[in-house]
Structure 1
Amino acid sequence: MRVHPRAWIGLAVWALYLLVVVAIQAASGVPYTDFGDSASNLWRGAVISLAVGAVLVAAITTWLGWWQPALRERRTTRAKWTIIAPALLLVAVVGNLLGTDWGEVGADFVVAGLALGVLVGFNEELTSRGLLLTGLRGSTREIAVALISSALFGLMHGINVFLGQSLTGTLPQIGSAFLQGLSFYILRRVTGSLIGAMALHGAWDFSVFTLDATDGANPLGALVFLAGLVALVGVWFAARGADERRPVTSDGAGAAASTSA
Structure 2
Amino acid sequence: MRIHPRLWMGFVIWAGYVVVIFLVTKLMGVPYTRIGATAEETWKGAVVDLAVAAVLLAITTSLLGWWRPALFERKRSHHKWPIFVPIVMLLVAFANLVNTDWSKFDASFIFALVALGILVGFNEELMTRGLVLTAFRSRLPEGWVWFISSVLFGGMHLVNAALGAPIGSTLVQVLMAFASGTAFYIVRRVTGSLIWAMLLHGLWDVSVFAVGHASVGPAIANILAPVVGLLALAVVYWVITGTDEKPVDVGASEARLAA
Q: TM-score range by the shorter chain?
A: over 0.9
Q: Say which SS state the counterpart of residue 4 (structure 1) adopts.
A: coil
Moved over 2 A (4+): 215-223
1-structure distance, mates of 2:207, 2:93 = 6
2-structure distance, mates of 1:241, 1:121 = 28
The aligned runs of 1:45-56 (5 Å cut-off) are 45-56=45-56
Measured against aligned partners, the alpha-carbon deviations of 1:69-127 in whole angstroms (never above 9, x if no partner) come to: 00000000111111121111111101110110111121211100000010000000000
Which residue pairs with 1:227 in the alignment? 228
Measured against aligned partners, the alpha-carbon deviations of 1:134-186 in whole angstroms (never above 9, x if no partner) come to: 00000000011011111100011110001000111100000000000000000
The Cα of 1:247 is off from its aligned counterpart by 3.9
Aligned length: 254
Which residue pairs with 1:180 in the alignment? 180
Query: Which consecutive unaligned segments of at least 5 residues does structure 2 have?
Result: none
Which residue pairs with 1:248 in the alignment? 250
Give the aligned CA root-mean-square deviation in angstroms: 1.3
The Cα of 1:6 is off from its aligned counterpart by 1.1
Which residue pairs with 1:258 in the alignment? none
Percent identity of equivalent pairs: 47
Which residue pairs with 2:108 in the alignment? 108
The Cα of 1:250 is off from its aligned counterpart by 5.2
Which residue pairs with 1:259 in the alignment? none
Which residue pairs with 2:149 in the alignment? 149
Which residue pairs with 1:236 in the alignment? 237
TM-score (norm 1): 0.94
Q: Say which SS state the counterpart of residue 236 (structure 2) adopts.
A: helix
Which residue pairs with 1:257 in the alignment? none
1:179–1:253 Cα change, 3 Å: farther
2-structure distance, mates of 1:79, 1:22 = 38
Which residue pairs with 2:96 in the alignment? 96
1:251–1:191 Cα change, 3 Å: closer
The Cα of 1:235 is off from its aligned counterpart by 1.0
The Cα of 1:220 is off from its aligned counterpart by 3.5
TM-score (norm 2): 0.95
Query: Which consecutive unaligned segments of at least 5 residues does structure 1 have?
Result: 255-261
1-structure distance, mates of 2:188, 2:133 = 11
2-structure distance, mates of 1:56, 1:220 = 34
